[in-house]
Amino acid sequence: MSNQQHNIHNAYIHFERDQWARLRNNVELTLSLDDLQQLQGINESLSIQEVIDIYLPLSRLLNLYVGSLQKRHSVRDQFLETKHEHVPYIIGIAGSVAVGKSTTARILQALLSRWPEHPSVALVTTDGFLRNNKDLVAHNLMHKKGFPESFNTKALVDFVAAIKSGKESIDAPIYSHLTYDILPDKKITINKPDIVIIEGLNVLQTALNEPERPTRVFVSDFVDFSIFVDAEPAMIKQWYLQRFLKFSVGAFTDPDAYFHTYSKMTQQQQIDIASKIWDEINGVNLSENIRPTRDRANLILKKGYNHQVSSVKLRK
């Protein structure tokens, strides 16, 4: 291990699953089995135990962080003898395609909204800030969808900055996984929630990922607490293949689906094409642009078999 790797390793407190679970501190589970089923990712069987062991302690920690920031704001207002606008707390969730970050985001949204201190929790995905397909085709970037250059990063940074400025109402674009494109006439509106969860591949990326971009302000500059959902790349590829096969007999069967053709292939053909997409696009993006940002996160959820979190790292 190099000195740099050693220093990064020592920057975190490491918890095995059972150690982390004990930090729940008797927080009650406020989600029913029906709630959990609605929160499940397409390739996950989310258990009650996973929520109890991993996400209840995490929601308790985040609740304490949000409360701490609210106190700091009241100190500032006391010092300035003025009352400033309410500013939402921003949680960023990063990780690979198919690692389960969307499910993590939805569970946290559900749990955090049940704390009386911050009942309004908005969830936004950075997929909405992908450049539309027409633009990607024009710039020969369709094969790099999800890479830093495929995003309208300026629009994303402007959006997050507007949230942090306390703006009353902010619109964000919506991405459709069915049509594989931005929906031109649809928006999601954020109306000054207590917490905003921003989930996406690029939440923690910086100038190292986008050397051609002149601005030096990034999404992570506005994030109050960041989470990286991690797993071994070979395991994530397996989850991606499983998800692709489920889509092939589900969403892809819709004639309007961008990948409708894949639903007519044999299962072996589907596995071959999904494996090729992973090896040439998603796997490369993970190793070059996503995983290198992992050690910038405040907290790392390391997943193992069947999407279960095996360990947690919390920045000191």
Average pLDDT over residues 58-71: 89
- Residue 2 counted as domain residue: no
**Which residues make beta-bridge pairs with 313?**
14, 300
Please report whether residue 4 resides in a domain. no
CA–CA gap between residue 221 and residue 198 (Å, rounded): 13
- Per residue in 208-227, is it b (16+ CB within 10 Å) or e — as a string? ebbeebeeeebbbebbbbbb
Q: How many domains does the chain have?
A: 1
Confidence of residue 208 (pLDDT cuts 50, 70, 90): low
Q: Which single residue is written with the structure tokens 């909204």?
A: 113
Average pLDDT over residues 21-32: 85
* Contact of 73 with 84, CB cutoff 8 Å: yes
Residue 146 CA to its chain's centroid (Å) = 13
Domain that holds residue 286: 12-315
| pLDDT bracket for residue 2 (50, 70, 90) | low
Instruction: Give this prediction's pTM.
Output: 0.91
Residue 274 within a domain: yes
Report yes or no on 160 lying in a domain.
yes
DSSP H or E segment with residue 80:
helix 56-80
The pair of three-digit structure tokens given for residue 103, joined into one six-digit string: 């499910």
Report yes or no: 203 and 289 within 8 Å, Cβ to Cβ.
no
Q: Kindly list the distances between the CA atom of residue 73 and the CA atoms of 19, 66, 115, 292, in Å, as whole numbers in the listed order.
A: 32, 11, 19, 33
- Other Cβ atoms closer than 10 A to 295: 18
pLDDT at res. 216:
75
Pair of tokens at residue 23: 């930090």
Query: What distance in Å separates the CA atoms of residue 291 and residue 204, rounded to the nearest whole number?
Result: 10
Band (pLDDT 50/70/90 cuts) for residue 13 is very high
The answer as to whether 7 is a domain residue is: no
Within a domain: residue 47? yes
| Mean pLDDT in residue range 155-159 | 95
Residue 166 lies in a domain: yes
Average of per-residue pLDDT across 280-304: 97
- Count Cβ atoms within 10 A of the Cβ of residue 133 and give its class: 0-12 exposed, 13-18 middle, 19 or more buried: middle
**What is the phi/psi pair of residue 113, to 5°?**
-70, -10
6 lies in a domain?
Answer: no
Residue 42 binned pLDDT confidence (cut-offs 50, 70, 90): low
| Lowest pLDDT segment from 19-33, 163-177, 268-282 | 19-33
CATH number at residue 220: 3.40.50.300
More confident residue, 269 or 3: 269
